[in-house]
Chains A and B, each alone.
Chain A
Amino acid sequence: MAIKKDLSIEYLGVKCENPFFLSSSPVGSDYDMVAKCFEEGWGGVFYKTVGFWIPDECSPRFDQNNKEGLPWIGFKNMEMISDKPTEQNFETMRKLKRKYPDKIMVASIMGENQKEWGELAKLAEQAEADLIEGNFSCPQMTTCAMGSDVGTNPDLVELYSREVANATKIPFIAKMTPNITNMEIPAAAAITGGAMGISAINTIKSITNIDFENLTAMPVVDGKSSISGYSGAAVKPIALRFCAQMLQDPTLKDIHISGIGGIETWRDALEFLVIGCRNVQVTTAIMQYGYRIVEDMISGMSHFMDERGYNSLDDFIGLALPNIVPAEKIRRTFKVLPSVDDKKCIGCGRCYISCFDGAHQAFEWDEKKRRPILDKEKCVGCHLCLNVCPVQECITAGEVVWLEDKLKKFGDKKNDVIVKKHYE
């Protein structure tokens, strides 16, 4: 029997069958799409953002960039909020909620002014949405009264959040833009205004590729292009950073955060959970691979829990957060030398090249044997070699060498150093 664990979680007072949700985007923009994603196992949907303002979209509107032939490292999107009639969208949400009462419907809304935010919140309540998300973050709106131009203005975020909170009792989630230095500021403003939760991150303003054929950016729309939102695997590190920083902020630490950014696998989702997110949202990977990816998220997460003996997501949510510390709190009194397994080594010399050209010239090269020889004095233990080695577990963390002068400087003692042992 395939292992299946209880992945249910309480998120903003709502019981979710699992934490895997569609983010507000093209992947959840009508009845058939959302019905299909529910059938395939997604716990809920942040329905594509609804406003009274209806956008005019361009063609084409997507681009992706690749590395060494691997496509979709990152993805660029010029599409704005839903271009379907407002009423129809809320009606679709209601129908879906009635058909799938155990699945979670989050109405994503975006108003042009205070009044519209309040009205949209009321419509969401009438549509029987479980939760409401405020989209303060779309970076490619053709109006500056909406989207990330609002999200970077804490006063507007607070004002509109208050409007929604006053209009309805449904918990309100503010979706943040990463096109800002400190996300904690608008997030705190949203909470002050009455928001209960935060979603992060929306897409990053980007130019993915320059087209040499037409001398503009991609995608090429009648010979022109625009800066617009970047998502996918490439943005995950940035998303994790914003989420972790908010969760470590004293005023935000107990807020339920929904993590978004480059999630493709159960491992990606798990990363957001172990830093403290209680929900995760996905779009780009679905655009590339379809809703079916949730099957391996559910199965993979179940296997992880089984291996570790966890019975509930709450057993491990946030466990990694305390171990992410400011740079000045990092212990700097030792170096971990790399250990090269000569039997696994295939002699490509990549460690030698990278160490010489990019680090501390700590390897010598035995031309006859085609093997690196480590100079333990010159080596600073940076592990660049370990990161470029193409053979699994050929270079691993080896001997720990204490730095006597640093021990004295920091008053540190030679006690156990925790070292990562297994690399994939």
Chain B
Amino acid sequence: MSKVVKAKYTAEAVAGFTHRTAMEEAARCLLCLDAPCSEGCPAGTDPGKFIRSIRFRNAKGAAETIRENNILGGSCARVCPYDRLCEEFCSRTGIDKPIQIGKLQRYAIEQEKAYKMEILKAPDKKKNGKVACVGAGPASLACAAELAKEGYRVTIFEKHEKPGGVLTYGITPSRLPRAVVDHDIAQVKKLGVKFVLNTEVGKDVNLEDMDFDAIFVGVGLWGSRVPDIKGVELKGVYKAIDFLKEAAEKKKDFDPGKAVIVVGGGDVAIDCAVTAKLLGGGDVKIVYRRTLEEAPSNMDEWHYAMSLGIGVTTNMAPAELLGKGKNVEYAMFTGRDKKSELKLACDTVVFAIGQEPYNVDKIADVKLNEKGGIAAKATGKTNVAKIFAAGDIVNNGKTVVEAVAEGKEAAASIIKYLEKKGVK
């Protein structure tokens, strides 16, 4: 018999460090000459430096190192796939196991909050340059913060009621508490970035009518893919984003169903399954069409899902949904081997098989890529000089930290563009 974790929807999955346990972990760090962990961060955070600060009793200095580099340092500390980023490169692995870099980053950012530190400051003298950022998710927040730090006037347009994008409406709060997201976003606000919420660009406002010197598009992927099979229109069948968003809004008033099947193998699939389980979703299963080794989600997340009692079936792809009246009743799967078959009774099916762009063509007239997202270079440049883009809408869905890195990169390009144009 396995002991299964019983948790609340909003309860954190992992307890953080105290001053003492953080010091114990920092003392395990070898403080390497070349700190290979630092090579592993897409956003360029230097764990070698902030862990050394913790070790030498300078938690405030550690918080500065993180926050100055990553405006979403608190959120990244919770959701980064460390095991294949910084921790993957940790030298300590040669002795036993890597330093828990993510947890130390979380600790440092918690000190920032505890000591009410104000690390980032916008210059007193603002520049004239005005930039619009479309979407208030990780890429946009990162881009906006970089620009604001340089003194540009930045306005973020967000169609939802709250900023944060996937951080607010996607990732389950057990993995990423909303207070952590809010604290990160508060740092953006303190830089003087203006947030225009409940406003969809291309529908409620048209940026062409406004006098922005540059536009950044970081709208993410808010359309969910659904397989081309029979029965997807039945009641009880959800797209991942809609499922997560509804759960995030209704919290414990959300009824996920008694027999829940989540289809997919990424972090979003696990978030859906965890959300269903924590909100009383009875029997919750994840069915994935490939193997765990091929799955985009990392092993820690699978372990966490399993610790809650969520079952996982691999190498089975959805074939058909059968209904009883308007409601879904069975989900049929066929094996990758073309021989196996699976019929599961259910009242809820959630498809978390990837997101896709949503109404991107209405935002701006830019060249799209083959996936329907925005075609942009690594620098964030699109085919239109004043329009830049980054994050999921360009890379077709990667991690939060990669969106932050790309948003920063785009901000650097925007600054160059504005300087060249003579906007001061």
Shortest Cβ distance from A372 into B: residue: B33
Residue A402 lies at the interface, judged by CB distance under 8 Å to chain B? no
Give a binary string over B12-47; 1 marks a CB under 8 Å from any A CB, 0 the rest.
000000001101101100111110100000000000
Partner of A68, one of B21, B30, B55: B55
Partner among B20, B24, B33, B94 whose Cβ is within 8 Å of the Cβ of A349 = B33
Q: Mark B349-384, 1 if CB is under 8 A from A, else 0.
A: 000000000000000000000000000000000000
- Is B229 at the interface (CB under 8 A from chain A)? no
Residue of B nearest to A356 (CB): B33
Provide the bound-state CA to CA distance between A348 and B31, in Å.
Answer: 7
Interface residue SS majority, chain A? loop
A347 engages B95 (CB within 8 Å) = no
A390 beta carbon closer than 8 Å to chain B: yes
Contact B91 A348 (CB under 8 A): yes
Q: Please determine whether A353 and B33 come into contact, CB atoms closer than 8 angstroms.
A: yes
| Cβ distance B308 to chain A, nearest Cβ, rounded Å | 32
By the criterion CB–CB under 8 Å, are B26 and A68 in contact? yes
B23–A69 CB distance below 8 A = yes
Nearest-Cβ distance from residue A341 to partner chain B, whole angstroms: 12
Chain A 344-373 interface residues, beta-carbon cutoff 8 Å to B = 346-350, 352-353, 365, 367, 370
Which residues of the other chain, B, contact A347 by a CB distance below 8 angstroms? 32, 34, 36, 91, 94
Query: Cα distance A301–B91 when bound, in Å?
Result: 37
Q: Evaluate contact between A370 and B23: CB separation under 8 angstroms.
A: no
Chain A residues with Cβ under 8 A from B91's Cβ?
Answer: 346-348
Contact of A350 among B27, B33, B95 (CB under 8 A): B33
User: A54 on the interface (CB 8 Å rule)?
Assistant: no
User: What is the bound-complex CA distance between A370 and B35, given in angstroms?
Assistant: 11
Structural contact, A69 and B95, CB atoms closer than 8 A: no
CA distance A365 to B93 in the complex (A): 20
CA distance A346 to B91 in the complex (A): 6
Q: Which residue of B lies closest to A345 (CB)?
A: B94
**A390 in contact with B30 given A69-B20, A346-B95, A347-B94 (CB within 8 Å):** yes
Residues of chain A lying within 8 A (CB to CB) of residue B27: 68-70
Say whether A403 faces chain B, with CB atoms less than 8 Å apart. no
Instruction: Flag if B34 contacts A370 (CB, 8 Å).
Output: yes
Q: Determine the chain B residues whose CB is within 8 A of the CB of A367 once the complex forms.
A: 34
Question: Beta-carbon contacts of A377-411 to B below 8 Å, as 1s and 0s?
Answer: 00000000000001100000000000000000000
Identify the closest chain B residue to A353 (Cβ): B33
Cβ contact within 8 Å between A349 and B23: no
Q: Check if A348 sits within 8 Å of B30, measured CB to CB.
A: yes
How far, in angstroms, from A163 to B71 measured CA to CA in the complex?
Answer: 76
Q: Which residues of A contact B36 (CB under 8 A)?
A: 347, 370
The reply to whether B32 and A348 contact each other, CB–CB distance below 8 Å, is: yes
- Contact of A390 with B26 in the complex, beta carbons under 8 Å: no
Interface string of A50-94 (1 = CB under 8 A from B): 000000000000000000111000000000000000000000000
A268-293 residues at the B interface, CB under 8 angstroms: none
A349 in contact with B34 given A68-B23, A69-B20 (CB within 8 Å): yes
Interchain CB contact under 8 A, B33 and A352: yes
- In Å, the complex CA distance between A370 and B39 comes to 14
A355 to chain B: closest CB distance in Å?
11
Smallest CB separation, A358 vs chain B (Å):
14
Distance, CA A212 to CA B103, complexed state (A): 28
What size tier do the contact residues of chain A reach?
10 to 19
Given the known A-B contacts A69-B20, A391-B94, are A350 and B31 also in contact in the complex, defined by CB atoms under 8 Å? yes
- State in angstroms the CA–CA spacing of A348 and B21 once bound together: 23
Residue ID in chain A nearest B32 by CB atoms: A348
Chain B residue, CB-CB nearest to A392: B95
Given known A-B contacts A349-B34, A370-B34, A390 and B95 have beta carbons under 8 A apart:
yes
Shortest Cβ gap from B52 to chain A (Å): 12
Supposing A69-B20, A69-B27, A391-B94 touch, asked if A350 and B34 sit within 8 A by C-beta, the answer is no
Residue contact A365 to B26, C-beta cutoff 8 Å: no
The CA of A390 and the CA of B29, in the complex, are separated in Å by 10
Residues of A within 8 A of B92 (CB): 346
Closest to B56 in A: A68
| Shortest Cβ distance from A70 into B: residue | B27
**Shortest CB distance A71–B (Å):** 8
Closest-CB distance, B302 to chain A (whole angstroms): 28
Q: How far is the CA of A352 from the CA of B95 in the complex (A)?
A: 18
Complex Cα gap A353–B34 (Å): 10
Least CB distance from A103 to B in Å reads: 38
A144 to chain B, nearest CB (A): 37
Whole-angstrom CA separation of A69 from B94 in the bound complex: 23
A286 to B229, CA, bound (A): 71
Contact between A350 and B23 (Cβ–Cβ < 8 Å)? no
Residues of the A chain whose Cβ atoms lie less than 8 Å from the Cβ of B24 = 68-69
- What's the nearest-Cβ distance from chain A to residue B76, in Å? 25
B55-80: which residues lie under 8 A (CB-CB) from chain A?
55
Q: How far is the CB of A395 from chain B (nearest CB, A)?
A: 14
> Contacts of B34 on A, CB cut-off 8 Å?
347, 349, 367, 370
Minimum distance in angstroms from B354 CB to a CB of chain A: 38
Q: 0/1 per residue, A151-186, Cβ < 8 Å to B? A: 000000000000000000000000000000000000
Query: Do residues A349 and B32 form an inter-chain contact, with CB atoms below 8 A?
Result: yes
A211 to chain B, nearest CB (A): 15
User: How close is B28's CB to chain A, nearest CB, in angstroms?
Assistant: 9
- Docked Cα-Cα span, A201 to B197, in Å, equals 72
Q: Which residues on B sit within 8 Å (CB–CB) of A349?
A: 32-34
Q: 1/0 per residue B99-112: CB within 8 Å of A?
A: 00000000000000
A348–B30 Cα distance when bound, in Å, is: 7
**Complex: A352 Cα to B55 Cα, angstroms:** 20
A70, B26: Cα distance in complex, Å: 12
Residues of B contacting A70 in the complex (Cβ-Cβ under 8 angstroms): 27
Q: Beyond A68-B55, A69-B23, is A365–B94 a contact (Cβ under 8 Å)?
A: no
Most B CB atoms within 10 A — which of A70, A347, A391? A347
Minimum C-beta distance from B47 to chain A (A): 14
Among B31, B33, B34, B94: residue with most chain A CB under 10 A: B33
Distance in Å: Cβ of B88 to nearest Cβ of chain A: 14
Minimum Cβ distance to chain B for residue A351 (Å): 9
How distant is the Cα of A352 from the Cα of B30 in the complex, in angstroms?
Answer: 13
Q: A68-B55, A390-B95 are in contact. Are A365 and B23 (CB under 8 A)?
A: no
Closest to A351 in B: B33
Which chain B residues lie closer than 8 Å to A346 at the CB level? 30, 91-95
Q: How far is the CA of A350 from the CA of B55 in the complex (A)?
A: 15
- Enumerate chain B residues within 8 angstroms of A365, measured Cβ to Cβ: 33
For chain B residues 97-135, which have a beta carbon within 8 Å of chain A?
none
Q: A283 to B405, alpha carbons, bound, how many Å?
A: 56
User: Which of A348, A352, A353, A391 has the most chain B CB atoms inside 10 A of its CB?
Assistant: A348
In the A-B complex, list the 9 residue pairs whose CB atoms are closest, starting with the nearest: A349-B33, A346-B94, A69-B23, A68-B27, A348-B30, A69-B24, A348-B32, A348-B91, A346-B91
Instruction: Provide 5 A-B residue pairs closer than 8 Å at the C-beta atoms, listed in order of the A residue.
Output: A69-B24, A69-B27, A346-B91, A348-B30, A350-B33
Task: Known pairs A68-B24, A348-B91; list 19 more (Cβ under 8 Å).
Answer: A68-B23, A68-B26, A68-B55, A69-B21, A69-B24, A69-B27, A70-B27, A346-B30, A346-B92, A346-B95, A348-B32, A348-B33, A350-B31, A350-B32, A352-B33, A370-B34, A370-B36, A390-B30, A391-B95
